Structure 1
């Protein structure tokens, strides 16, 4: 029998958990768009699974928003024995959860540097140091500026079955909530750019101050194990004037996951009936 069907949050996919009879040699699962199965050899049905596993994922030709019916048949001896059919509708309902590290750090950096300008420790013609996600163009730029770039985003810690947290059951909604993902090791490059080496030094110290001052804010947002290092560099040839930069390598650990909501099949324990 089918224990439950779950439309995967990414869409166009259905997860099926099977609970075959103890005497079953294998299980065959058919799929149709109408609940009118004629038997285990129904020519109008697609065979989406056949074997002795307890779990499979169906992705073949599934369309989001369309209802599909599944029916399992267990081979007991030489006889196929069918269980009740079940309906499911694939949907793309996934939400990407977890902090957007680059955006969050960029916003906190911009806010912190604005405070430094307001206090007179840094200067800028516009009253705030612009913060971008790409290097500045030389012509037309009001210096100094800062930028934040993604250097790397990779899985650092994974859970069993890709679960990032325990499944939770919502009694009122009568549905399960599942989270799948990992903890990512994210590395950013935070760069400050100036036409003056002394100003570059002040900017480097300001970036360190902002990052250290935001450690508790990062932690509250789910950004943990923050580490960073700084180094200076100069470009004396590419532009009309020397450009002095300080590069901060910022690394952290942050959760990233998609969530899924699915309802259990109420009649999963129904008695198998011969078909």
Structure 2
């Protein structure tokens, strides 16, 4: 909560239609720059062992996670890559639950369809489709703001948001902010809390809530822990995509899925779901499905 007032202006874009009134008083890039200036200790010393930290909160059925970190990539290359809607499909599809993603231009806007399923391999026809509206919310010199918004998600969830902000740093690096969240229903909260208190009791997030009798950290569980895990998965998906751009085009997909797995495998307590050979095999098959789906829609220029 100590950073709540600082972040309120930026977060309100995700949860309120009045965000632009805040923007006039305090530009988002100024807020993000202030977060960076005040977070040097967190970036240098945290449980990730990387220049990376997160904050999360849940209130009135709304759960949001903010992941902040530093990419070892120039700001200009981040802008060039992430302002392209099609690239977000390649990013999203690294997530184990995203079995395919397609992009399509419609009435001057870009729509991304996520095909959501289980951790194991599933063909697209066995998944749930969630349609995200892609919006380049701000693209000014020295600042990038991308928002993916879906009004409705699986199991009655609403107001899904994935947001990406970036600022240039010295030495060819970029400070980034990835936020992820959605609104659920009372029935879903009761069902998920029942799951996390029984079969899913071992699933945890990254926020430390205390220590056990051995002095080991105790991590947050339940629905908030689940949202934290997904936010970090998307953060690492963006990072893996950016790292693949240095490879020849023909080998980029293989580089992406390998890098994503290695990044997430560092945090097995939170993120382990599949052995590497299974993840790679599933993603290779799902990638073929994604290409087939995209061909059926056409590949409009962006």
Decide: shared fold, TM above 0.5.
Answer: no
Q: Which structure has greater helix proportion?
A: 2
Q: Which structure has greater strand proportion?
A: 1
User: TM tier, shorter chain?
Assistant: under 0.3
